[in-house]
């Protein structure tokens, strides 16, 4: 897609690639450190392991199979790499983002996905020998969960689905993304 603007207005001419392997995380960290000129990153967020960007409603594809594939990639090596990066001090913390239903998604399917995804994230540091070995020094998995639009003055989804309780029980911080939702609450 060279020469064709993709993504944000005024953004670089890049295409979006969804990859959650150890190699991909290592490359992304390297490139971020090069761009910023820093020696470490304070917090890294795992984005878009969800059905939304992969939906093709015209083909009857709800995006769940692609999201599941990405979650499996994370489990099979990417997560252990994030644990190693944190243990080495190259990142201080890492977490993951979850979003409320958007873009015409079925709200119940998305809620079920989010609940399952968060449960798996909170257990992932115990999911394989590689993760357990990488985690042995610190004994913890993700540091935080970024709830985008899921807990606000108008939306209590993160509470209603038990996601906030899961995070509290696992001693995982919660970042509320969009506490005023959007529209009149955000703009006045």
Q: Could you report the per-residue pLDDT of 110-141, keeping only the tens digit for each? A: 899 999 999 999 999 887 777 777 766 667 89
- Please tell me the total number of residues recorded for the chain in this structure: 188
pTM of the model: 0.85
CA-to-CA separations, 136 to 63, 105, 132, in angstroms, rounded? 34, 39, 6
Q: Is pLDDT of 7 > 60?
A: no
Residue 46: Cβ within 10 Å count:
21
CA-to-CA separations, 21 to 17, 72, 108, 147, in angstroms, rounded? 12, 9, 29, 23
**C-alpha to C-alpha distance for 81 and 149, rounded to whole angstroms:** 28
Range in 29-33, 46-50, 129-133, 151-155 with the lowest mean pLDDT: 129-133
Q: Is pLDDT of 166 > 90?
A: yes
pLDDT value at residue 57: 83
Residue-wise over 65-99: b if at least 16 C-beta within 10 A, else e?
ebbeebbebbbbbbbbbbbbbbeeebbeebbbbbb
Q: Strand order in 91-99's β-sheet?
A: 41-46, 91-99, 144-148, 173-177
């Amino acid at each position: 897609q060279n020469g064709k603007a993709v993504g944000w207005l005024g953004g670089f001419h890049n295409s979006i690639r969804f990859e959650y392997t150890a190699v991909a995380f290592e490359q992304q960290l390297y490139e971020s450190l090069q761009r910023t000129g820093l020696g470490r990153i304070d917090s890294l967020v795992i984005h878009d392991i969800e059905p939304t960007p992969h939906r093709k409603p015209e083909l009857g594809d709800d995006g769940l199979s692609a999201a599941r594939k990405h979650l499996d990639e994370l489990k099979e090596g990417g997560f252990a790499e994030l644990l190693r990066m944190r243990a080495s001090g190259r990142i201080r913390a890492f977490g993951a983002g979850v979003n409320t239903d958007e873009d015409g998604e079925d709200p119940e399917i998305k809620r079920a996905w989010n609940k399952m995804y968060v449960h798996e994230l909170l257990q992932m540091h115990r999911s394989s020998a590689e993760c357990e070995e990488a985690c042995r020094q610190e004994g913890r998995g993700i540091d935080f969960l970024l709830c985008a639009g899921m807990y606000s003055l108008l939306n209590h989804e993160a509470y209603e689905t038990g996601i906030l309780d899961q995070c509290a029980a696992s001693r995982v911080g919660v970042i509320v993304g969009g506490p005023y939702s959007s529209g009149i609450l955000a703009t006045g």
